[in-house]
Copies of this chain bind each other. A is one copy, B any other.
Amino acid sequence: MHSFENTIQKLRSEGFKLTPQRLAVIKYMIGNKSHPSALAIHKELKRRYPTLSFSTVYNTLNMLQKIDEIRSIHVFDDHLNYDPNTEPHIHFLCSKCDMVHDIFLEQAEGIQVYAGEIDGHLVDSYELFFKGTCKDCR
C-alpha cells in the first residue's frame, strides 16, 4: 500500500466495487505500523461504523491480500496480523509488550537471506521474524 489513491485504483482495475466499508479498512491500514489483527481492526472501525460486520473486515483483508496490497504475518500462534507494507522486510516480536516492530535489511546487520535454491529446493519466499525484548522495553 503506497497511497490511498493508488490502492483505490488497483481495486477498480481488478473489478472490485468501492464500498464505504472497504474504503474504511483501506484508510485504516494505510501507513499503519501497528500490525493489527482482523479483530482489532474491526473493533477499532466499529466505533465509527457501528454496523460494520467482522466478516466484511475479514473479507476485505483477504481481498487486499489477494491483490497484494497487504500481507498477513503469523508471529502469534493463535491469530494472524496484517501489514500494509508488502516490501520485503522482517519483524521483531517483543515478548514483554507483544508489539511487532518492522526491521528493514539495511538496519539489520548480520542478516542475509538467500533466495533461489537451497539444498535442491526452489525458494519462492521466506518468512523471518525475531523474538526478544524490544528497545522500548529494555
Residues of A whose CB lies within 8 Å of any CB of B are: 72, 74, 77, 80, 92, 94-95, 101, 103, 107-114, 116, 118-135, 138
Q: Which 3 A-B pairs have the closest CB atoms?
A: A110-B114, A120-B135, A124-B132
* Chain A interface SS verdict (over half): strand
Copy tally for this chain in the complex stands at 2
A80 to B124, CA, bound (A): 22
Give the residue name and chain of the B residue nearest to A111 (CB): B114
Cα–Cα, bound, A111→B94 (Å): 23
Known: A74-B77, A77-B74. A123 touches B114 (CB 8 A): no
Q: Which of A94, A116, A122 has the most CB of B within 10 A?
A: A122
30 A–B pairs (Cβ distance < 8 Å), ordered by A: A92-B118, A92-B119, A92-B123, A94-B121, A95-B124, A101-B121, A103-B121, A107-B118, A108-B118, A108-B119, A109-B114, A110-B113, A110-B114, A111-B112, A111-B118, A119-B135, A120-B134, A120-B135, A120-B138, A121-B130, A121-B133, A121-B135, A122-B132, A122-B133, A122-B138, A123-B131, A124-B133, A125-B131, A126-B129, A126-B131
